[in-house]
């Protein structure tokens, strides 16, 4: 759900109603920072544990929504941004675990996965079952990792406190229908805050449900306050600066005043923006004096990447490229220079202006005072530029420098290294890529993009059986069990044909056995999935 129930400015053509209806726990990011110190804070009682809805049911509900997200063209798997967000997310999960918010049972049964959404709106949303969505517009707008962490901690707390389960429990037998009416009404009102839009919202919400809806909205306000309280504790105990909660309000206030237009306040499932801003400002006065949050080069570059990846249009890309010119950034502090130059390289790459991109990259590489993390993303950008311009050998050289490759165990380096090896079109390089990806997937099997790359690596080696199975595994990770079954059946048919022709060696027989077992498992999951529709 968009910021304070505001939907994104551009239409989303393939998102299903299920995502919209079930993302009731979504949004939003406007966390309030309670001012108790870490050592003296009293643990306030929670609203309830949502025990009436089993964890497995909540996980399956989340999967049904996540499946639609993975199918949507605005879903984006960008390993570079993903690594940056995951570093914050894993730190927050560790803090929630340490505080006792993330129990062992909850951790084992929920997914705890973060999806990036190619959307310019400033938003994040929590879904049941431990799924989180982060809009690129949010990453582009925040000025520090502390601000981004404040949003992630708030949404994480929606999940650990099982807010959707509580909402379903409160509604009882009418839960899904009443929640659906409520969310559709709020979306209609926020999309079209005109008289006709409000009439449409009212039409959705009438029919004997007004009292139940009002009660649900009140309950959701309590949930938001609880997510603020718990999220603040999770964030600060993870080592992030508490000012991130407060300064995030300022970003939101500048970004949109839609929620303070005075119209239909009962439609808001979250406390009013003005109320929470005033509360946060009052608490900020009680906080110990701290150094102001500052923009870091790494965050500036990640914000620039997010902005370009939202596909803003040619005019914006040209403006970003122009802004990176030396005359325009000479007076900028280091972090802003790094962000502007990074954006210039990305923008020129998107426009296939590779010569200009190399000039911006050379100036970015020449900046002094950058830490190891910032230097790493610049090296990755160097390889991306080489690969985009058709020079896979150069990309491979940049990434496969022994000292650099051995020091990295991040997903972005591995994925880009595999892409570069596959792009050389050399079987020996494809073999290296498949070996490395197979090792990666043995430890992290829920990586759909890695399975897709592995399929390409096997294809280049002429190993059709493993290539088709990798395609099937990729579809299974994205919860598209129907497509996964189709691919596994194709792999099974190929294995049978190879066996008849005497072309299935010992390793092939092992692979065929894996295909048979996985096919049976996926057919069972597909039947269960069909029953839930």
Instruction: Supply the pTM of this predicted model.
Output: 0.82
The pLDDT tens digits for 273-328 are: 566 666 666 666 666 656 667 889 999 999 999 999 998 999 999 999 999 999 99
Over residues 187-205, the mean pLDDT reads 44
Residue carrying the six token digits 């007076």:
331
153 or 266, greater pLDDT: 153
389 or 18, greater pLDDT: 389
Q: What is the DSSP letter of 291?
A: P
Least confident interval from 250-254, 502-506, 517-521: 250-254
The pLDDT tens digits for 48-97 are: 555 577 888 888 888 888 888 898 889 999 999 999 999 999 999 999 99
Give pLDDT, residue 280: 60
How many CB atoms are located within 10 Å of the residue 421 CB? 27
Asked if residue 410 lies in contact with residue 83, where contact means CB atoms within 8 angstroms, the answer is yes
Over residues 395-403, the mean pLDDT reads 80
CA distances from 16 to 68, 70, 125, 238 (A): 7, 12, 16, 36
Give pLDDT, residue 65: 82
Give pLDDT, residue 220: 72
Give pLDDT, residue 253: 65
Residue spans of the domains in the chain: they are: 3-286
Over residues 413-418, the mean pLDDT reads 94
Residue 27 C-alpha from the chain's centroid:
13
Rounded-to-integer distance, Cα 341 and Cα 324, Å: 5
**Which among 413, 352, 420 has a CA at the least distance from the CA of 391?**
420
Confidence of residue 436 (pLDDT cuts 50, 70, 90): very high
Locate 111 and state its tokens.
């997914």
Pairing outcome for strands 131-135 and 124-127: antiparallel
324 or 32, greater pLDDT: 324
Over residues 449-471, the mean pLDDT reads 97
Give pLDDT, residue 101: 94
Confidence of residue 193 (pLDDT cuts 50, 70, 90): very low
Rounded-to-integer distance, Cα 84 and Cα 142, Å: 14
Give the residues across from 117 on adjacent strands: 75, 135
What values do phi and psi take at 270, rounded to 5? -120, 155
Over residues 359-366, the mean pLDDT reads 97
Asked if residue 152 lies in contact with residue 130, where contact means CB atoms within 8 angstroms, the answer is no
How many CB atoms are located within 10 Å of the residue 218 CB? 12
pLDDT exceeds 90 at position 212: no
Q: What is the DSSP letter of 119?
A: -
Averaged pLDDT of the chain? 80
What percentage of the chain exceeds 90 in pLDDT? Answer: 55
Rounded-to-integer distance, Cα 71 and Cα 16, Å: 10
């Amino acid at each position: 759900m968009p910021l304070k129930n505001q939907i994104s400015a551009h239409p989303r053509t393939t998102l299903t109603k299920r995502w919209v209806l079930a993302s009731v726990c979504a949004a939003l990011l406007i966390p309030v920072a309670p001012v108790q110190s870490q050592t003296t804070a009293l643990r306030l009682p929670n609203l309830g544990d949502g025990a009436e809805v089993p964890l497995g049911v909540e996980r399956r509900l989340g999967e049904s929504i996540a499946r639609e997200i993975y199918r949507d063209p605005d879903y984006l798997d960008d390993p570079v941004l993903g690594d940056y967000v995951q570093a914050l997310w894993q730190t927050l999960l560790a803090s929630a675990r340490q505080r006792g918010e993330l129990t062992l049972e909850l951790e084992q049964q929920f997914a705890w996965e973060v999806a990036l959404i190619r959307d310019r709106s400033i938003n994040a949303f929590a879904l049941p079952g431990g799924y989180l969505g982060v809009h690129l517009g949010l990453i582009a707008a925040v000025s520090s990792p502390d601000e981004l962490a404040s949003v992630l901690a708030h949404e994480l707390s929606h999940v650990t406190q099982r807010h959707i389960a509580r909402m379903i429990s409160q509604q009882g037998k009418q839960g899904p229908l009443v929640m659906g009416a409520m969310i559709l009404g709020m979306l209609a009102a926020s999309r079209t805050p005109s008289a006709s839009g409000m009439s449409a919202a009212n039409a959705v919400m009438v029919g004997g449900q007004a009292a139940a809806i009002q009660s649900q909205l009140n309950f959701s306000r309590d949930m938001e306050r609880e997510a603020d309280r718990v999220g603040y504790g999770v964030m600060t105990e993870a080592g992030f600066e508490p000012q991130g909660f407060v300064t995030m309000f300022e970003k939101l206030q500048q970004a949109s005043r839609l929620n303070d237009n005075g119209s239909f306040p009962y439609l808001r499932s979250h406390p009013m923006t003005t109320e929470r801003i005033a509360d946060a400002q009052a608490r900020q006065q009680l906080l110990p004096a701290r150094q102001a949050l500052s923009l870091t080069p790494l965050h500036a570059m990640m914000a620039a990447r997010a902005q370009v990846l939202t596909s803003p249009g040619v005019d914006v890309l040209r403006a970003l490229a122009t802004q990176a010119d030396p005359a325009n950034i000479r007076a900028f502090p280091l972090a802003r220079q790094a962000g502007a130059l990074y954006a210039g390289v990305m923008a020129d790459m998107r426009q296939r202006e590779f010569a200009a991109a190399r000039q911006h990259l050379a100036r970015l590489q020449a900046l002094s005072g950058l830490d190891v993390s910032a230097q790493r993303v610049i090296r990755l950008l160097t390889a991306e530029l080489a690969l985009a311009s058709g020079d896979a050998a150069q990309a491979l050289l940049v990434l496969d420098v022994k000292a650099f490759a051995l020091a990295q165990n991040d997903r972005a380096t591995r994925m880009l290294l595999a892409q570069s090896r596959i792009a050389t079109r050399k079987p020996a390089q494809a073999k290296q890529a498949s070996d490395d990806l197979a090792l990666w997937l043995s430890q992290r099997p829920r990586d759909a993009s890695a399975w897709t790359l592995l399929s390409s690596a096997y294809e280049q080696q002429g190993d059709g059986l493993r290539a088709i199975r990798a395609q099937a595994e990729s579809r299974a990770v994205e919860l598209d069990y129907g497509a996964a079954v189709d691919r596994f059946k194709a792999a099974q048919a190929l294995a049978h044909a190879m066996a008849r022709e005497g072309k299935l060696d010992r390793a092939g027989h092992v692979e065929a056995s894996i295909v048979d077992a996985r096919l049976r498992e996926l057919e069972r999951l597909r039947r269960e999935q069909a029953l839930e529709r």
